[in-house]
Structures are given as structure tokens and as C-alpha cells.
Amino acid sequence: MKLENLNQCPICNSIKIFKVNNIKSKIKDVKDAFDLMKCQDCLHRFISKIPNQIELNKLYEIDSPLVFGGTNYELNQKKNFIKNNFENIEPQFNHWIFDYIDQNQGSYLELGPGLCRLYKTFYLKGWKCQGLEQRSFIKINGIKKDIKDIENNNDVVAAIDVLEHLVDPIEMLKKINSKIKKGGKIFLTYPHSESFKSKILKDRWSMVSPLAHIHYFSKKSTKIMLEKAGYKILVIKDYSFVELRRLIRNSIKLPIFILKDILKLNFKNIYYRFIELFLNILDLINGDQLKVIAKKK
């Protein structure tokens, strides 16, 4: 596959970019081919080389391990999805995006609906649903591969954990913009480059995984990207996948685990347990994900 070196920031176009470090990938075909880069102006992080979007789409189409971890968990999820019908997909009525939608019904467009849980929820609520998805095994009513087949005038668009996978997120946001009603809302989530986990762990941050993730956004790069694509930001905040309740529960059990480690003379493990606890506490303060809500101008 042909890869192009990036010599400027893909979001703000600044040439003040520098290498954070080399990415050591567990994927055999990737290994150490990519560097983790950072833009000094907008604090966006990105991988040093990118394919073109057409070639990248092909990898998604066949579910290549280059873009999907290919872990047993992911393979099982895929198997279950293919086996089950649309009726068996579990909806997510408590998804946070419903806290920000005041209309009861309308037209909904989702980028990369994946296993379609949110998509199914909108469907059950009576919304007219359309989706844009490259992976071939996802065959559900309303889901298309080409944006040209998507109808205009949507009220709500969601791209949950999607933009970090694209070569050019600004271009995609512009295309989507033409599919939204004026005043319609877009909901986005993606990895947060200015989080503690990103800054401390660098390429060891679990979000850094070429060729699946290409971009890691800051609040500043988010603002620049959405401004360029014709949106006005309504909400932008960081959040964490760490659950406070689980963290407290695990912390209470920690002395028992440490005692076990001591008995096994596994001191390295004790060290890792403290690091993990420390990082999870930091993540609750400045989460490694961003959620963004914006309005079409």
C-alpha cells in the first residue's frame, strides 16, 4: 500500500509539527512504520504517514486486521452480529446523545454505525434512519456505502468514534454538512490528544493504533476543524471510559491483590497496579475522549 508522508498538520495546516515518538505496533505488517506526530499550533496528534481514503476504505470493506485489532472479542462481536437479525440488536435508550435532542422524531444519519446499537435506538423511536458504513458484513435497511446515496435534510447526524479513522475528517464533515438541515445537529466523539493518558503514555496510549486511528483531536483542533467545515460548536468536553464506581470497587480490593503479588514475589505487578490506578484517576480528571455537539451554520 502506498503511504504519503504528512509534512503539515492535517487540521490547521501548520508546518510546526514534531515527532512525539515512534509507534511500536503489535500488528505484524505495521511494526514500527509510523511515528506519532504533534502539531505545536493546534495540539492535534496524528500518525506520520497516511494511505489514500479509497485504499483505506478497501481495508474496512474486508475488515482487515490492519484497521481492526482482529482480537477474539472483535471477531466474536462480528460473528454474533452476522448471526443475529436486526430485531436482536440491543438498543441504547440511555445513550447521552438523547439528553441533547429535543425533537421526538425526524431524520437521522449515522456515520460508521458499526454494530448498529444507536442506529437501532433511533429506529425504534420512529426516526427515519440512514447510515454510511464501509464494512460489508453490515447489511441493514438504510445503510449505504456511498455518501451520494444519502438523502439530504437530516435533523441529526452522529459520528461516534469515527473521525479518528478517516484520512481527511474536515472533508467528510463538509460533505456531511450538505446532508444536514440548517440548524441541524451533529454529535461527535473521538480520542482526546490533550488528555493525561495521551500526554503521559504517548504511543503506549491504547488509542494509538495505526492504521485504525489516524487522528487524536484537541479542543483547539476540534474548533478549527468544525469552523472550516461550516459548523458552530455548542458543547465540547472531555470524558473518560473509566467508571468511578468500578474504580472505587477495585481500589478497595487492591490491598488483597498486592498481598497476593507479595506472596508470589511478583513486585513488577504491584508497580503496574499503582500506575494503572494513578492513570485511571487522572483520566477521570481529564478524560482521554472528547464529545462534541455542533450546529450547522
Residues that bind Zn ion (CB under 5 A): 9, 11-12, 14, 39, 41-42, 44
Rounded least distance, CB 275 to Zn ion, Å: 30
d(CA 96, CA 92): 9
CB nearer Zn ion, residue 46 or residue 119: 46
User: Distance between CA 45 and CA 24 in Å, rounded?
Assistant: 16
Closest CB 217 distance from Zn ion, rounded Å = 10
> To the nearest whole angstrom, how small is the minimum distance from the Cβ of residue 101 to Zn ion?
31
For residue 56, the minimal CB distance to Zn ion (Å) is: 21
Comparison of 10 and 131: residue with beta carbon closer to Zn ion: 10
CB of 228 to Zn ion, least distance (A): 12
Q: Within 13 A of 85's CA, how many CA atoms are on the CB side?
A: 1
User: For residue 247, which amino acid is it?
Assistant: L
Q: Please count the residues of the chain.
A: 297
Q: Is residue 294 within 8 Å of residue 223, measured between CB atoms?
A: no
Q: Give 66 or 224: the residue with its C-beta nearer to Zn ion.
A: 224
Sequence-ordered list of residues with C-beta below 8 angstroms from that of 288, at least 6 positions apart, any chain: 191, 192, 195, 196, 197, 198, 205, 207, 238, 240, 241
Q: Which is nearer to Zn ion, 115 or 233 (by Cβ)?
A: 233
Beta carbon nearer to Zn ion, 23 or 42: 42
Distance of alpha carbon 8 from its chain centroid, rounded?
22
Q: Which residues are registered as beta bridge partners of 107?
A: 128
